[in-house]
Copies of this chain bind each other. A is one copy, B any other.
Amino acid sequence: MKAEIIAVGTELLLGQIVNTNAQFISQECAAQGIDVYVQTVVGDNQERLLSSLQLAASRADVVICTGGLGPTQDDLTKDTLAAWMGRQLLIHEPSMQAISEMFASRGIHMVESNRRQANMIEGSDPLHNETGLAVGNALTYEGTHFILLPGPPKEMKPMFMNQAIPWLQAHMTDEVPLYSKMLKFAGIGESALEYQLIDLIQDQSDPTLAPYAKEGEVTIRVTTRAHSEMEGERKIASTITKIQKRLGDHLYAEQDVPIETIVLELLGKKGLTLTVAESCSGGLLSDLLTSIPGSSQSFIGGIICYSNALKHKLLGVPMEVLEGAGAPGAVSSETAVILAEQLLVRTGSDFGVSLTGVAGPSPSEGKPVGLVYLGLAQKNAITQVFTLNLSGNRETIKLRAAKRALYELWKQLKEN
């Protein structure tokens, strides 16, 4: 099945936002065995939108549109398509009711234009909007399927995953669906990982292996075609085993979750608690952990000891360790160890993780950008300290330091 994606919105053409919707939809289409041939962005202009829709329909089996479903006169996707097809726009009553209730509950007067968000093209199927007001549409016209999704990613993503994909699957007739598994790795870079798997990557035919790196983690998508999960699992089993053998120390999940999810799960299962002392990572490690719902069960908090004064006052690092001629300094294994151990003393947590280093852009204490010490203290165990030499800009170094801390913690939890 050939697909084209059309994103509608002048803000994209002005470069005010980046087209992450096209990326998301492309990824998910690839996972479904739908080949995306073209991505297009057009503005909120009826004539150019129509011309893009017609061109895409002439080439593709499915045209997936995002944007232009909102309440304003700029939101033209349904109107344009309905006019071209010679169909009416009808009100989808359940959506209309949800819109009215939302306005009533907030005590805001609903203006007439908000009714537009409940519009359906005659003969289309509604795609429920879990996180917003505008209802999506799915329909077939002259042999081409059209999927109309809202523009805001938080509305588009659940609608695409939970509504549009099942609709498309029901309309894909003779294709064997793709079955794929995501393997997630931490504590290893993309090139080092590829090097370990180079024979599998080069010889691949079925299953295929697609490695990619993002946000401090590396993912491999292992893909085959299968009619059932069981058949899919069987076809990829020997490849997965080979990868596990070579990279088991880095393979933290066989599903697309960040490592913080797995660390929190392991802590939760064992009834253990975690605190962190963040200097160079500046709160990012805590932020990653607390982004996972339910994290409060195991992550009880931490200290952002950004200045030396707070490393001393809040976590008792002696000033003579931190400053002065010949002192190890704030960026040192000594400081990392004290920070991690004092977390246990002062909070009573089972694990204490510390990060202290140079995030950049300038060196600090005469130490180079990217040098980071990671302390890992655990009740009734010897404290470990790791010296990291990280590359990248300030943001990347913060993220790599935080992810490395999670990786070392995962290794510790996995082994015990």
Closest B-chain residue to A283, C-beta based? B286
Whether, in the assembled complex, A16 has its beta carbon less than 8 Å from a beta carbon of chain B, the answer is yes
Given A296-B307, A348-B309, are A19 and B39 also a contact pair (CB < 8 Å)?
Answer: yes
Q: Mark A15-32, 1 if CB is under 8 A from B, else 0.
A: 111111011111111100
CB distance from A40 to the nearest CB of B (A): 5
Judge if A302 is at the interface, Cβ distance under 8 Å. Answer: yes
Q: Looking at chain A's contact residues, is the secondary structure mostly helix, strand, loop, or mixed?
A: mixed
> From A280, which residue of chain B is reached at the shortest CB distance?
B290
- Which B residues are CB-close (under 8 A) to A11? 210, 212
B310 touches A306 (CB 8 A): no
**Residues in chain A within 8 A of chain B (CB atoms):** 11-20, 22-30, 36-43, 48, 52, 55, 131, 154, 210, 212, 214, 219, 221, 275-276, 278, 281-287, 289-291, 293, 295-296, 299-307, 309-310, 313-314, 346-348, 359-362, 393-396, 398
Contact call B300/A309, Cβ cutoff below 8 A = yes
CA distance A30 to B314 in the complex (A): 49
| Cβ–Cβ < 8 Å partners of A20 in chain B | 18
Q: Are A287 and B284 in contact (CB under 8 A)?
A: yes
A18 and B19 contacting across the interface, CB-CB below 8 Å = yes
16 sampled A-B residue pairs with Cβ under 8 A: A11-B212, A12-B23, A12-B26, A13-B37, A14-B210, A14-B221, A15-B25, A16-B219, A19-B19, A19-B23, A282-B289, A283-B284, A284-B290, A290-B306, A291-B395, A303-B304
Do A17 and B23 touch (CB < 8 A)?
yes
Contact, CB under 8 Å: A14 / B30: yes
18 extra interface residue pairs, beta carbon distance < 8 Å, beyond A13-B37, A17-B212, A313-B347: A14-B26, A16-B221, A18-B18, A19-B23, A19-B39, A37-B48, A38-B52, A131-B393, A282-B289, A283-B287, A286-B304, A290-B304, A291-B395, A293-B394, A295-B306, A301-B306, A302-B304, A314-B346
Residue of B nearest to A275 (CB): B310
> Contact at A301–B310, with CB atoms within 8 Å?
yes
Q: For the complex, what is the distance from the CA of A219 to the CA of B15, rounded to whole Å? A: 14
Shortest beta-carbon distance from A344 to chain B in Å: 12
Q: A284-B287, A285-B283 are in contact. Are A14 and B39 (CB under 8 A)?
A: no
Chain B residues within 8 Å of A18, by CB: 18-20, 22-23
Chain B residues contacting A287 (CB-CB under 8 Å) are: 282-284, 286-287, 398
Q: In whole angstroms, how far apart are the Cα atoms of A300 and B279 in the complex?
A: 10
B24 close to A15 (CB less than 8 A): yes
Are A15 and B19 in contact (CB-based, < 8 A)?
no
Residues on B with beta carbons closer than 8 Å to the beta carbon of A302: 283, 303-304, 306
> By the criterion CB–CB under 8 Å, are A293 and B361 in contact?
yes
Which residue from B22, B24, B301 sits with its C-beta under 8 Å from A303? B301
A356, chain B: closest CB distance, angstroms: 12
Contact B36 A38 (CB under 8 A): no
Would you call B398 and A290 a contact (CB within 8 A)? yes
Bound Cα distance A361, B282 (Å) = 25
* Best-surrounded residue of A289, A306, A393, A395 (most CB of chain B within 10 A): A306
**Neighbouring B residues of A210 by C-beta, 8 Å:** 11, 14, 16
Residue pair B291, A299 in contact (C-beta under 8 Å): no
Contact A13 B40, beta carbon cutoff 8 Å: no
